[in-house]
Amino acid sequence: MKNILLGITGSIAAYKAADLANRLTKAGHSVHVVMTRAAAEFITPLTLQTLTKHKVYTDMFEPVAYEDVRHISLAKQADLCLIAPATANIIGKIAAGVADDMLSTVVMAVKAPVLICPAMNAAMYENPVTQANIKRLSGFGYHFVEPKEALLACGDMGKGALADLADILAAVNELLEA
């Protein structure tokens, strides 16, 4: 059993994270979810908590009844950090070293491999700034599963849809076995 930290950001593809968390849990992994506030607008923390059997973290400053610094302890226990879906916003934050919410702070502290699965409008994905951020993070050793080309939620056709879950799970297994 591996500890997987699943970061979920505010993309319409957040609903797919429930299936991803469920599959990872059923595969025997311990899945700990950190959601951005925007992600919680698309899917509730209760859904992820029910599927993973673990508390879902959304707020860095919630009162705690334990003696640890939660963003650090989550980062230390992770065998893999998976961000799916990953918006242009979280990719940019990580590339710039910005740690201003629970997810970005945990990612800055994690020493395990980080697998990022972008999901956004095709124009946002193709934007030179987003591509530069992806290249920068790849240079630092972050891993990516590219989005697929599909009819996007906005009605555009293009590359930006979250990769198929089978492809994400294959990348997870590859990194866990490395």
Nearest to 144 by CA among 86, 95, 58, 64: 86
46: domain CATH number? 3.40.50.1950
By residue range, what is the domain housing residue 159?
Answer: 3-177
CA distance 167 to 152: 18
Q: From the candidates 129, 132, 151, 154, which is the catalytic residue?
A: 154
CA distance 163 to 149: 9
| Number of residues in the chain | 178
CA distance 119 to 12: 8
CA distance 162 to 85: 7
pLDDT in single tens digits along all 178 residues of the chain:
899 999 999 999 999 999 999 999 999 999 999 999 999 999 999 999 999 999 999 987 666 555 555 567 788 889 999 999 999 999 999 999 999 999 999 999 999 999 999 999 999 999 999 999 999 999 999 999 999 998 777 777 889 999 999 999 999 999 999 8
Is 81 an annotated catalytic residue? no
Name the domain count of the chain: 1
